[in-house]
Amino acid sequence: MKRTVQEIMSARPVTVTLQDNIYEAAVKMKDHDTGFIPVVEFADGETLIGVVTDRDLVTRGYAEKHSGSTSIETVMTTGIRTASRYTTVDEAAELMAEQQIRRLPVTDDGKLVGIVSIGDLAVRGIFADNAGDALSDISEHHLH
């Protein structure tokens, strides 16, 4: 039986809502040592509506001269692909490779249930052959 994302994902990730501003997102990134935070709907706290990365904060936030009080909505990325908890690890690796991303939100009926990262895959030595090569390329691009 193939391993699924549920077995390796980080459950209950740190999140922000549209009520948060970019300064608050930056502080959460610092406090939790992450450069990636899912944005969830305020109403139920679980529905994934986007993500904000440290790069989003810089390129769409501060480089555009937005202040720390600017809404998350101004800088967040929407229309992101997700995995389900039953997505196989190989399928998740392939999705990440196709999109050249290092983290993939995991949802269940649109509700955020976790995040799987390149680190989650690498630590366990689980790479699909082609996806593993592509993920290695993603990591190398981010190191230079």
Q: How many domains does the chain have?
A: 1
Tokens of 130: 């082609």
**At 138, which CATH number?**
3.10.580.10
Task: Check: CB of residue 121 under 8 Å from CB of residue 135.
Answer: yes
Q: What is the pLDDT of residues 4-27, one digit of tens each?
A: 999 999 998 999 999 999 999 999
Q: Give the mean pLDDT of 102-117.
A: 93
**Nearest partner of 47 among 22, 82, 91, 21, judged by Cα:** 82
Q: What is the pLDDT of residues 35-91, one digit of tens each?
A: 999 999 865 668 999 999 999 999 999 888 888 999 999 999 998 899 999 999 989
pLDDT at residue number 130: 46
Task: Check: CB of residue 119 under 8 Å from CB of residue 10.
Answer: no
- Band (143; pLDDT cuts 50, 70, 90): very low
Q: Give the mean pLDDT of 121-129.
A: 61
> How far is residue 26's CA from residue 21's CA, in Å, rounded to a whole number?
9
- Band (139; pLDDT cuts 50, 70, 90): low
> How far is residue 72's CA from residue 22's CA, in Å, rounded to a whole number?
5
Tell me which residue range forms the domain holding 107: 5-143
